[in-house]
Amino acid sequence: MAFLSPGEVRLLREAGHPRTWVRGEVLMREGETADSVVLLTGGLVKATVDSANGYTSLLALRGPGELLGELACIDGRPRGATVTAMRRSAGLVVAGEAFLRLLERDPALCLAVLRSVVGRLRDSDGLRADQGARTTGARVAGLLVKLAVQYGSAAPETLPGAVAVQVNQRELASATGASRESVVRCLRAMQRAGLVATGRGRTVVLDLAGLRRWAEEE
């Protein structure tokens, strides 16, 4: 797992139970009472927030080894986001009370969870800084590189070495703080450069090194 030792994973396995979710199934819903956490062991999920005007913002993608819902369990407040499976996913579901008892009893596990939370906060701070200092093209390219490296799946049917990212144009726009129209223009430019290909609900990275250079030079 990404931030847990084998012993810490064992503690969560003993306290929880395994579960699977099909694509499109909601694991957690914004506003609900937090009664459990999930340690994702397989698949890919997205965390989103709905605004009053109906706009849905993509907050993050999460993959194997990441905890879901721990903040709401710790502070007792309602869920801050909806978590939806983007493909068939699996995880360990641990009741909120059991999770809190584990944190109280095991300082190493508590520190590991704290480090995970701090890492996410740093990523969030970096994303906000990027939105003010980098062009839309650089932000979109940088996000695609990150998603391809962390959560991408091989797409040899498109091109040998290609990596598919299960994120659509609207989600790219909300994650980078750009308009959908700006993202579409950026993706078209990247397509002309042979860096990406777009499809229904996904973007395929054809040239990861070239896309990384694009992100740095834009």
Given this model, what pLDDT does residue 132 score? 56
pLDDT over threshold 90, residue 58: no
CB neighbour list of residue 97: distance below 8 Å, 6 or more residues apart: none
Name the phi and psi angles at 62, rounded to 5: -130, 140
The token pair at 103 is 């944190």
- In three-state secondary structure terms, 67 is strand
The CATH class given to the 134-217 domain equals mainly alpha
Architecture of domain 6-129: Sandwich (2.60)
In the chain, domain spans: 6-129, 134-217
For position 60, what pLDDT does the model report?
Answer: 82
Convert the pLDDT of each residue in 158-205 to its tens digit: 888 899 998 888 888 877 878 889 999 999 999 999 999 998 888 999
Give the separation between CA 13 and CA 9, rounded to whole angstroms.
6
The predicted pLDDT at position 128 comes to: 59
Q: Distance between CA atoms of 42 and 164, rounded to whole angstroms?
A: 17
CB–CB of 109/8 below 8 Å? yes
What are 141-159's pLDDT values in tens digits?
998 998 899 888 898 888 8
What is the reported pLDDT for 2? 66
**Which class for 157: exposed (0-12), middle (13-18), buried (19 or more C-beta within 10 A)?**
exposed
End-to-end CA, the chain: 34
| The pair of three-digit structure tokens given for residue 152, joined into one six-digit string | 């991408």
Tokens for 88, please give them. Answer: 């068939």
- Could you report the per-residue pLDDT of 202-218, keeping only the tens digit for each? 899 999 999 999 988 76
Q: Who has greater pLDDT, 119 or 39?
A: 39
Q: 3-state DSSP call for residue 50?
A: strand
Average pLDDT of span 98-108: 95
- pTM confidence score: 0.78
The 10s digit of each residue's pLDDT in 17-36 is 999 999 899 999 999 999 99
Rg (CA), the chain: 18
Evaluate the CA torsion angle 152, 154, 160, 164 in order and state its sign. Answer: negative
pLDDT tens, residue by residue, 104-143: 999 999 999 998 888 887 776 665 555 556 788 988 999 8
